[in-house]
Amino acid sequence: MAYAIVNGKLMDRSEAKVDIEDRGYQFGDGVYEVIRVYNGKLFTLKEHLARFEKSLASIRINLPFSTQELTEMIKQLIEKNNLHTGIIYMQITRGASPRNHAFPSEVVSPCLTAYTKEMPRPLAKLKSGVNTILAEDIRWLRCDIKSLNLLANILAKQKAGENNCYEAIQHRGQDVTEGSSSNIFMVKNGVVITHPSNELILKGITKDVILQHCRNLSIPVEERVFSLKELTAADEVFLSSTTSEVMPVIEISGSTVSDGQPGTVTRKLQQAFEQEIVSQCGNLIESTLA
């Protein structure tokens, strides 16, 4: 039997239901996190919990549990579901209340739901790299909040899929922001360049691990806005996310990136990322680099 958490309680996943007037369901009034699990162990848990709390505070929802309680619930769910390699998805909404845009005037308890999913590492793609397509970034101006409202991201990802691409690279006018569900990096003359973590993008946990490893490896980094023109002239491009790790980008809207092969800086960072996984979660069965 697969288990899920609803309102802080562990239950049979097939019986996990929420109210039709839950504000997450009606308004997307809530926030979420996706955390990677390798070897049954949570990767970068502390960082995800910190971002979750920041997202919650940004939309003025109080976490109905302590971080410690939440951690215990998540760990119990992983154990109960026997999750080896996959993800845990969790979200908190403002709760169920008669429909009205403003916050409920009565006291409503926020609704926590969580479940796990087996998901192998995308090893073949990590080796070969992926194709991407450009998409205008039509999102709101608080993309730093990991909000349940994902319509613009959905439309961008759908455009990617319909064009046989793995991801859409979003841009506001000439400025590259981030992927529909990932951060974007380019490499030029050995320098790693990526959008600053401000309100126009999500501060990726994977992004921060990568930037830390750049520092460790003495790879120069510039966190600054870069243009579509710079992107198309890049030596290397890669994207990052919890599920995609350090993913080489070999094509953008039909144009090949450099020679169409994952670049050397990208490879180095993939290697460093794998070492980080091993140090936090133990040895991996298969490596990207083998």
Q: How far apart, in Å, are the Cα atoms of 14 and each of 3, 7, 33, 196?
A: 8, 15, 21, 41
- Would you call 203 a catalytic residue per the annotation? no
Site for ligand DCS in 183-212 (CB under 6 A): 183, 202, 204-207
Q: Which of 81, 97, 240, 270 binds ligand DCS (CB under 6 A)?
A: 240
Scanning 66-74, 119-127, 180-188, 254-262 for contacts with ligand DCS by CB under 6 A, the matching segment is 180-188
Count of other CB atoms within 10 angstroms of residue 16: 18
Q: Which of 71, 232, 243, 280 binds ligand DCS (CB under 6 A)?
A: 243
Does position 177 bind ligand DCS by CB under 6 A? no
- The nearest distance, CB 86 to ligand DCS, in angstroms, is 12
**Number of chain positions touching ligand DCS (CB under 6 A):** 15
Does position 182 bind ligand DCS by CB under 6 A? yes
- Contacts with 107 (C-beta within 8 Å, 6 or more apart), sequence order: none
Each residue 70-99 as x (binds ligand DCS by CB under 6 A) or -, in order, gives ------------------------------
Site for ligand DCS in 31-60 (CB under 6 A): 34
Q: How far apart, in Å, are the Cα atoms of 276 and each of 206, 216, 237, 284?
A: 11, 12, 21, 11
Of these residues, 75, 125, 146, 159, which one is catalytic?
146
- The nearest distance, CB 178 to ligand DCS, in angstroms, is 5
Cα gap 149→201, rounded to integer Å: 14
By the 10 Å C-beta count (0-12 exposed, 13-18 middle, 19+ buried), 60 is classed as: exposed
CA 30, 36, 42, 47 dihedral sign is: negative
Cα gap 22→109, rounded to integer Å: 11
Which are the catalytic amino acids?
146
Residues that bind ligand DCS (CB under 6 A): 34, 153, 178, 181-183, 202, 204-207, 240-243
